[in-house]
Structure 1
Amino acid sequence: MIRDSMKGFHTLLDRTPVTHFYRFSGLVALTLMTPFANAQSPNAFGEPSESVPSPAAIVTAAPGSRAQGWQAQGRSEVLARNGMVATSDPLASQAGLEILQNGGNAIDAAVAGYEAMLERFGTMGFAETFERAATIAEQGWGLTERRHADLRSALTRIESDPDTVDTFLIDNEPPALYSIIRNPDLAKTLRIIQEGGADAFYRGDIAEAIVDKIQASGGAMTLEDLAKYEPEWVEPISTNYHGYDVHQLPPPGQGFAALEMLNILEVCAPTHNLNLADLGPSNPNYWHYMVEAKKIAYSDLQAYNADPNFEDVPLDQLLSKSYAADQCDRIDLNKATPPSVTGGIDGGTIYMSAADRWGNMVSLVHSVFSVYGSGVTVPGYGFILHNRGVGFTLEDGHPNQVAPRKRPFHSIIAGFVTKDNQPLMAFGNMGGSVQPETHAQHIVNMVDHGMNLQMSTDVARFTHSQNRDLLSLELDLYNLVGSALEAKGHNVRPVNGGAVGGYNAILFSLDPDAPLPDMGSDDMPVNGIYRAGSDHRKDGQAVGW
């Protein structure tokens, strides 16, 4: 009865009340009132209300099943040949993909503010790479579930600073789920950097605003401190795990703990007549062994990690297979052993990976540490200052003791895997202190158990607090092995996915029959295929073309 004419509609209109009538160049649409039009849920389509700010949290339903592969895997890997970006936010992934589609390389796609990277490896400048971010800050973006939860969780920190309240709250309240967020001051900052580069941030009006805010809050930073900052190029550190070279950033990052943990898992398994592949991740002895190896690696992390420009971190010793062998007797397969050195810091990061048609792959972390960092916003410029200083210790004589122009214990790490000196995978797992232990879990998942990149993040993970000697297991894993681990002496609790951070990864599979990419070509894909996965615990996605 609906057609490109008004003839005949009187019959329909006579019988049914009409709330809206639309006509768009040949298409006619009616919104009809029927006895069934009223939604039974007060939160239809997941719309939040004052009494239910997160509607999805109250839904009870059984999950659907996959048609192939591991049934609990949330989605397939993403495959592409011309380029790939994987981040924890869809807008960031799409911004990086746009750069790739416009002729940029993986370095261009990965930059949210790294002039040294662009100058050394990129093909674009801030004018191109910052454009999408500046436009989004001006026009606004939608507040997703995870971002909404993060905002609400950080309210106490946000409310401690009037400039942060003005920037991130609306009428002193957190914006509603799915509402539009705008930050014109941040857009202004990005536009200034687009024009003036890094110097516009570390010198000039922005620098003065940073120093004024810090000094007004009782801090000691000066304009000279900012002006003298320079990025540092470093050599990665690595170990070989069952034939794969796993690379991490050196101290003061905590990446060496992931490598030491992998060494212990590899070297000590035969000593204890264990095989991780045979045990499998549904066996409580598997998780006990993983956690005990983690405690040893993190004890060394807490004891030795510091700024190598100030202290000698004995990496040659800590990352040797012989040192790992010396640790095997410290693992008791029958009972949990308390950490020999406690300590640790919470906080979070963003991790992203990117790859292009010419074979460049990037593993990158950016962080203001805690959710909403220090909670201190630079007025007029729309950005939060980090609180990385909490990574220092005040203990006299400790290698990580606070000192001028010294970098603190840094939680951020970006992982990379090579095989036979060829790039294989860029990967990472954000989440403060969970990063090394989760890096090791992902490598074991993929190398020992043959999981694909998406499956590795969809399986349950553990995190262990070195400070409280508290073992946290995601709920289904807790239900599976929690009681058995408690019987071994672990202090165990169930947690949701917010406790184990968020992961993404890109892997390159070489096709020996494909031609090598031509660096001067804009239409030749890479000589193989990229595969990517992203964590369902975050809002992000892997995208490619």
Structure 2
Amino acid sequence: MVVSTQPLATSAGLKILSKGGNCIDAAIAVSAALCVTEPASTGIGGDCFALYFKVDNKDSPTCKGGKVLGLNGCGRAAKNVTPQHVWDEHNSGQPMPRIPYTSVFSVTVPGAIAGWYDAFEKWGSKNVSFADILEPAVTLAEKGFPVSELSSRSWRNSIAKLKSQNPDVANNPFVLEGERGPFEGEFVRNIPLAECLKLISQNGKQAFYEGPIAEAIIDTTSKRNHKLTIDDLKFHTSTIVEPIKLDFQNHHVWEIPPNGHGLVALLALGLVQELHKEGRIDLYKLKHNSAEYLHILIEACKLGFHDSDEYVTDPTFREIPVEALLHSHYLKSRASLFDSSKIIDGENMTHGVPDPKYKSDTVYFSVTDSNGEACSFINSVYEGFGSGILVEKYGFCLHNRGSNFNLSPGLSNCLEGGKRPYHTIIPGMITNKSDDSLYSAFGNMGGFAQPVCHVQHVLNMIVFGMTPQQSLDSPRFVLNSNKDILKDRGRGADGPVSTPITIVQIEEGVGEDVIEQLKTLGHTIEILKDYSRQTVGRGQIIKNESRNGQLIYAGGSDMRGDGAAVPFV
């Protein structure tokens, strides 16, 4: 089964499954196709992360006894860059807390292509070639495709940025005649990107990180005074990681470890579970999306974000006490801060410090295959078209993931040469604790919305018994800062607790009485209507419903996107 936000991308994944490819092969094909069809959301100038459920015994009809593996396809900052370079470029040499989203210094090494290729080499089926996998994307870019509704909307919303960043619109494949973006159903091509993908399909990741494509990237950034070099690209590596997990209500919930912020979701779920264990709440008696329920989740997620501001960073630059943070002792101490009658004090709240004695050395889409294996995959350029900076010769924009660094020397996520930034894209997975079988591969794109939405999907399925589609269809909330740059703490990333006031953005449908009760508790509320509902991101879920020895999948695709859940027969 393939679930993604775009039918043409889903078709690309199904095509690879039909050729004998596995979930990894198909996921790469979907990712590549999305880079063509949803360029505002993702692209080869961005990063990727993946969780892979690998079955130990493929002869087992219900695929028990699997394990979860992880890949971090995130790029690093230029080796020679410093905060002073940013300050000199944008603030007359004076300190500022963040890298502007359209700054060339927001560009880090794009990690997606290496991530694709490394996943293919390590976990692919070997039944299809890398060229086979990229062929659907090449065809879409070369022959053209009709732009879907929501993709056309986000594309058009980014035209001002694209024109500002690249004044010569004549050679910009994303700015159409009349200096506009495409309308729904309009047929577009990207010939330079097709040629780029052909080079990569023929020569693998080396084609991107060395040679003409790499030279074009450096030529583009050097003209804007960046410190990125050919060596920064040449020596880039993906990282195979051990996923982190939380035992939650007889399941294991899995996330990519820092520098990804999946830790936020696990911390929030852990806090909720501690409240349940202590009898302060009863998870199974709470009414879904009631004021009481939403208040618990909002506060738990805020506490998770406060911890992420301290602990989510590149682990090669700082030791991160993940196991101690997820230990019940620490979760209990953080849960004690929860007050059912009011919100957390945003002015004075900060991260917690786990007891060292508990330390140990130890565009989202999903694909499952007939082996019972699953891939939870996400690929992104961060903001719309990333930095908006176009590598003109090859038809793709560079991401602005470096904007998630802070510029506060001495803090854990401060910009440093060769460092990976705090990263918002996180694939999710759930397994059954009883037999290590797959429960669900899931995810939800949307920047800092992602861990908040992960928490809601986990609870929707495990506690409230929702199907994947029911979980995706139900109204949900996300958290955001009030963007007051004068009150930005300069800590962590530019997330929901970077300023004292955290805004709760919640979709209409929860009821006016619930909204009023949340306001009474002290929450600052913003109601999301119509197309603003995309603020909560677009999720995709595949759930394992196998029974009586028969492998069965149930899928759901977010109504906030243009896609669908499609089985391969």
Shorter-normalised TM-score: what interval?
Answer: 0.7 to 0.9
Mapped to 2, the partners of 1:205 and 1:216 lie a distance apart of 16
SS of the aligned residue for 1:289 comes to helix
1:477 corresponds to which residue? 510
For residue 93 of structure 1, what is the aligned residue in structure 2?
A: 10
Query: Deviation at 1:337?
Result: 1.7
Distance 1:394 1:321, change over 3 A: same
Map 1:51-90; keep pairs closer than 5 Å.
84-90=1-7
Q: How far, CA to CA, are the matches of 2:436 and 2:168 in structure 1?
A: 49
SS at match of 1:130: helix
Deviation at 1:480, TM superposition (A): 4.7
2:450 aligned with 1:533: no
Residue 355 (structure 1) aligns with: 368
Which aligned pairs between 1:135-534 and structure 2 lie closer than 5 A? Answer: 135-160=139-164, 161-162=166-167, 166-171=172-177, 172-271=179-278, 273-339=280-346, 350-419=363-432, 420-465=435-480, 466=496, 467=499, 468-477=501-510, 479-496=512-529, 497-514=533-550, 528-534=551-557
Distance 1:241 1:294 in 2: 16
Alpha-carbon separation, structure 2, partners of 1:163 and 1:375: 13
Cα shift at 1:417:
0.7
Q: For residues 162-201 of structure 1, give each alpha carbon's deviation from its aligned partner in whole angstroms, at most 9, with x where no partner exists.
A: 3667221112122222211110111010111111111111
Cα distance between partner residues in 2 of 1:277 and 1:455: 18
CA–CA separation in structure 2 for the residues paired with 1:201 and 1:280: 51
Provide structure 2 residue ranges, at least 5 long, that are not aligned to the other structure.
33-112, 352-362, 481-495
Alpha-carbon separation, structure 1, partners of 2:547 and 2:457 = 24
Q: Do the aligned residues in 2 keep the contact of 1:303 with 1:341 (CA within 8 Å)? A: no
Q: Aligned-pair distance for 1:479?
A: 2.7
- Mean Cα deviation higher: 229-238 or 166-175: 166-175
Higher normalized contact order (CA 8 Å, seq sep 6+, divided by chain length): 2
Would the aligned equivalents of 2:478 and 2:506 in 1 still touch at CA under 8 Å?
Answer: yes
State the 1:510 CA deviation.
2.7
Q: Report SS of the residue matched to 2:390.
A: coil
- Paired letter, 1:539: D
Task: Name the residue aligned to 1:120.
Answer: 122
Name the SS of the counterpart of 1:439 in structure 2: helix
Give secondary structure in 2 for the equivalent of 1:394: coil
Residue 134 of structure 2 is aligned to residue 130 of structure 1:
yes
Deviation of residue 432 (structure 1)?
0.3
CA contact (8 A) 2:156 2:182 kept: no
Q: Is the 8 A contact 1:163 1:377 kept in 2?
A: no
> What are the superposed Cα offsets for residues 291-322 of structure 1, whole Å, 9 maximum, x if unpaired?
11111111001122110010111212211122
- Do the aligned residues in 2 keep the contact of 1:140 with 1:182 (CA within 8 Å)? yes
Q: Distance in 2 between matches of 1:442 and 1:125?
A: 35
Q: Specify which of 20, 23, 35 is matched with residue 106 of structure 1.
A: 23
C-alpha spacing 1:306/1:398, structure 2 compared with 1 (3 Å): same
AA aligned to 2:17 is: L
One-letter amino acid matched to 2:27: A
* Alpha carbons 2:448, 2:479 under 8 Å: kept: no
Q: Percent identity?
A: 35
TM-score by length of 1: 0.79
Q: Deviations over 1:267-298 (max 9, x none)?
A: 11343631132121242111111111111111
**Distance in 2 separating the partners of 1:152 and 1:180:** 14
1:70-107 residue CA offsets vs partner (Å, 9 max, x unmatched): xxxxxxxxxxxxxx111111111111011101211111
Change (3 A) 1:169 1:368: same
Partner AA of 1:422 in structure 2: S
Aligned in 2, Cα 1:323/1:167: closer, same or farther, shift over 3 Å? same
CA contact (8 A) 2:3 2:10 kept: yes
SS state at 2:220 partner? helix
Aligned Cα root-mean-square deviation (Å): 1.6
CA distance in 2, matches of 1:478, 1:410: 33
Shift of residue 509 of structure 1?
2.5
Q: Distance in 1 between matches of 2:350 and 2:194?
A: 42
Moved more, 389-398 or 262-271: 262-271
The aligned length equals 443
Alignment partner of 1:377: what SS? Answer: strand
What is the distance in 2 between the residues matched to 1:283 and 1:401?
A: 39
- Paired with 2:278 and 2:139, the residues of 1 have a C-alpha distance of 57
Conserved? CA contact 1:135–1:187, under 8 Å: yes
How far is the alpha carbon of 1:373 from its aligned partner?
Answer: 0.6
Q: Distance in 2 between matches of 1:283 and 1:410?
A: 31
Structure 2 residue aligned with 1:518: none
Secondary structure of the 1:233 match is: strand
Q: CA–CA distance in 2 between the matches of 1:163 and 1:359?
A: 49
CA distance in 2, matches of 1:280, 1:245: 24
Taking structure 1 as reference, are residues 192 and 453 closer, same or farther at Cα in structure 2, changes over 3 Å only? same
Q: Assess if the C-alpha contact under 8 Å between 2:424 and 2:447 holds in 1.
A: yes
CA distance in 2, matches of 1:130, 1:540: 20
Query: 2: CA distance between counterparts of 1:117 and 1:270?
Result: 39
Structure 1 residue 440: Cα displacement: 0.6
- Partner AA of 2:21 in structure 1: G
Q: CA deviation at 1:238?
A: 0.3
Separation in structure 2 between the aligned mates of residue 266 and residue 492 of structure 1, nearest angstrom: 25
Paired with 1:537 and 1:342, the residues of 2 have a C-alpha distance of 34
**CA distance in structure 2 between the partners assigned to 1:386 and 1:441 by the alignment:** 28
> Once the 2 structures are TM-superposed, how far is the Cα of residue 327 of structure 1 from its aligned partner?
1.6
Q: What stretches of structure 1 of length at least 5 have no aligned partner?
A: 1-83, 344-349, 515-527
Report the equivalent of 1:52. none
Q: Which stretch shows the higher mean deviation, 253-262 or 281-290?
A: 281-290
Matched to 1:170, the amino acid is L
Tell me if structure 1 keeps the 8 A contact 2:23–2:368. yes
| TM-score, with length taken from structure 2 | 0.76
Name the CA shift for 1:450/1:163 in 2 (closer, same or farther; >3 Å).
Answer: farther
When Rg is computed on C-alpha atoms for both structures, the one with the higher figure is: 1
CA distance in 1, matches of 2:456, 2:119: 29
- Read off the aligned partner of 2:167 and give its amino acid letter: P
Give me the whole-angstrom Cα distance separating, in 2, the residues matched to 1:142 and 1:179: 5
8 Å Cα contact 1:338-1:469 kept in structure 2: no
Q: Decide whether aligned partners of structure 1 residues 331 and 115 sit closer, same or farther in structure 2, where only a CA change above 3 A counts.
A: same
